Amino acid sequence: MDRRGPLRVGLALVVVLGGCVACGGDPAGPEAARSPSGPSVTASDPATPTPTPTTPAPAASTPAARPDASADLAAFVAAATALDAQLRATAPLVGAAVRAETVVVEESTAAAVLALDVLPVRESIPDGISDDVLRPVMVVYTGLVSRVRAMAGFTYAGTYPRTVDAADLAEGAWADETEGARMVACLANGSEPARRFDRDLAAVRAAAAAAPPVTAVDPTSRAAATLAVRLAVADLRNGGCDACGGYVADGLAAVRWVEESTLPRTGVIDDGLDFWATYAPGTGWDVQVNAC
């Protein structure tokens, strides 16, 4: 009977467990395993201990990131950041137009101011946004609108007086009634929103990271219409009724719907302003507010 197979297994086990048979001083060395009288050691021999296999400890797993609304607000953050940079680049041009007794608006300054557009920021706000995220979003949005409206008087090139001459003063005119004086006064409405922009945008990022992903809604839904009304009110408070900025939202306008079954839909805003809203495919909601 050929024992070479089992002996080879037995020798391997002895080497693994003991290191080396010859290390024990046996003069026969490994050749002793070939003797017919020598014991046969196999893997199944109960006298031979079988090494217990060890299972490596599982690698520590990193918990999966919880989905949030950051991706849904990425377009808004990008659009707001771009408009902020555009406003900061335009501000020195506007500042240079202000002289001691006049405001001199160059063609290049008028073109830069006219190019300021909040529409990309407005359109990047998702319809299904939750109130917790919309609050800081409205702060950023209204701050940007305030800054744009504060410069709106500089959209036409020309020279505008800042002072009233003696004859007009004698007739009862106010010194701040000149167009140039009003243009300069309006600029102050953009200062505070500009200073706090970075902090306000950080609040948007934090709110988005803490909120679940935005759920898409039907563009004709009440949620979409309510957002359109709130944005229209923000625009009105910054630019309607002869306003030139100065309004930054400190909360969400309460919208009470009165008639929703037909178009236009009608309702009332928290401070008593009536509105009506009409939806058109491709252009969205058009909101009119009875304010002035």
Provide the 10 A C-beta neighbour count for residue 89.
Answer: 10
Spatial contact of 197 and 143, defined as CB atoms under 8 Å apart: yes
- 216-250 exposure pattern, b = at least 16 Cβ within 10 A, e = fewer: eeeeeeeebbbbbbbbbbbbbbbbeeebbbbbbbe
Spatial contact of 68 and 213, defined as CB atoms under 8 Å apart: yes
Q: Model confidence over 243-291: pLDDT tens digits?
A: 999 999 999 999 999 998 888 999 999 878 999 999 999 999 999 998 8
Q: Model confidence over 4-52: pLDDT tens digits?
A: 444 343 323 333 333 433 344 444 443 444 444 444 444 445 455 556 6
Q: Kindly report the backbone phi and psi dihedral angles of residue 104, in degrees, each rounded to the nearest multiple of 5, phi listed first.
A: -110, 105
Q: Model confidence over 133-179: pLDDT tens digits?
A: 999 999 999 999 999 999 999 999 999 999 876 555 555 555 557 99
Spatial contact of 233 and 251, defined as CB atoms under 8 Å apart: no
Q: What percent of the chain has pLDDT over 90?
A: 67
In this prediction, residue 263 carries a pLDDT of 86
The β-bridge partners of 290 are 274
Q: Model confidence over 199-255: pLDDT tens digits?
A: 999 999 999 999 999 999 999 999 999 999 999 999 999 999 889 999 999 999 999
Name the CA radius of gyration of the chain, rounded.
39
Gap between the Cα atoms of 222 and 258, Å rounded? 12
Closest CA to 219 of 145, 142, 267, 277: 277
The β-bridge partners of 245 are none
For 279, the 3-state DSSP assignment is strand
Gap between the Cα atoms of 225 and 133, Å rounded? 17
118 has pLDDT over 90: yes
Gap between the Cα atoms of 2 and 120, Å rounded? 87
Burial class (CB in 10 A: 0-12, 13-18, 19+), 191: middle
In this prediction, residue 219 carries a pLDDT of 94
Which residue has tokens 């008639």? 259
Residues making up the chain, counted from first to last:
292
Report how far apart, in Å, the C-alpha atoms of 131 and of each of 68, 127, 178, 211, 227 are: 15, 11, 42, 10, 10
Report how far apart, in Å, the C-alpha atoms of 61 and of each of 48, 54, 57 are: 39, 20, 12
The answer for residues whose C-beta is within 8 angstroms of residue 222's C-beta and 6 or more apart is 257, 260
Q: What percent of the chain has pLDDT over 70?
A: 74
Spatial contact of 221 and 164, defined as CB atoms under 8 Å apart: no
Provide the 10 A C-beta neighbour count for residue 139.
Answer: 22
